Amino acid sequence: MLASVSTIQPAIQLTHTPQHTFETKKDLPENLKKQNEDTVKSESSKLTKKAFEQLSKEDQAKVQQLKIRDLEVKAHEQAHLSAAGTLAIGGASFTYTNGPNGVRYATGGEVSIDTSVINEDPAATIRKADAIRRAALAPATPSSQDQLVANNATAMAETARTELIQLAQEEKENAIKTKETESEEEQNDSNNKNEPSENSVSTAGSLIDFSV
């Protein structure tokens, strides 16, 4: 706590306690804490091993199966998380089964990801759909649900590609219309420049009349 640090620090300054002595005192509780944790882990491991040895062969086999399943489930969901990146909504959630030895093992799990489209940006939606598909198929053995998510992402990308093609076609048509309009305006300007003005015609007429 900060209060403890504030209380200890002035005492050190007043008594001129060497810095290395203070560090030794400060580090000592951490070392003891680690030793205690190691001791607890060791004792727990021994008790678990003893409990396992006291199980019937059938129960021991079931525990081994649960251990393998636990590792598979956690690796599966971690693969989803790693591939999903920012698309993941929170961490992985697991369902557990109690083994005959009293230990809980993960036997199911899921990772929620954002699968919404990006409005008015089909190109970004395509990139997102590809990322969703990679996340769904990241585990070594994707589940049927994973395959479904991947298929939905593929359909999402195809829809976005269609929208992107339509937008490109519309932009092309608008560019052609704009070019045609500009060409017509240029032609009109050119015609107006070539036509004689009313004053010029009147002057020319006056000269002709004068000469006659």
pLDDT band of residue 48 (cuts 50, 70, 90) is low
Total domains present in the chain: 2
Range of the domain at 154: 115-185
Q: Are residues 135 and 177 in the same domain?
A: yes
Q: Are residues 61 and 105 in the same domain?
A: yes
| Residue at 59 is within a domain | yes
Q: Does residue 4 register a pLDDT over 70?
A: no
| Residue at 163 is within a domain | yes
pLDDT at 176: 81
pLDDT at 178: 79
* CA 70/CA 76 separation, integer angstroms: 10
Among 114, 135, 151, give the residue marking a domain's end.
114
Among 114, 134, 165, give the residue marking a domain's end.
114
Does this model's pTM top 0.75? no
Q: Are residues 101 and 133 in the same domain?
A: no
pLDDT at 170: 85
Q: Are residues 174 and 120 in the same domain?
A: yes
| Residue at 11 is within a domain | no
pLDDT at 206: 39
Asked if 80 and 92 count as a contact pair (C-beta separation under 8 A), the reply is yes
Spell 138-176 as b/e; 16+ CB within 10 A means b.
bbeebeeebeebbeebeebbeebeebeeeeeeeeeeeee
- Among 59-63, 123-127, 167-171, 177-181, the range of highest mean pLDDT: 123-127
Q: Which tokens in the block code for residue 162?
A: 């269609």
Q: Are residues 125 and 170 in the same domain?
A: yes
Q: Per residue in 73-131, pLDDT tens?
A: 999 999 999 999 999 999 999 999 999 999 999 999 999 999 999 999 999 999 999 99
| Residue at 42 is within a domain | no
| Residue at 135 is within a domain | yes
| Residue at 192 is within a domain | no
Q: Are residues 101 and 140 in the same domain?
A: no
Phi, psi for residue 169 in degrees, rounded to 5:
-65, -45
| Residue at 25 is within a domain | no
pLDDT at 55: 83
Q: Are residues 158 and 171 in the same domain?
A: yes
Q: Are residues 68 and 100 in the same domain?
A: yes
pLDDT at 92: 95
| Residue at 6 is within a domain | no
CA–CA distances in Å: residue 105 to residues 57, 63, 68, 102, 191: 19, 9, 9, 10, 87
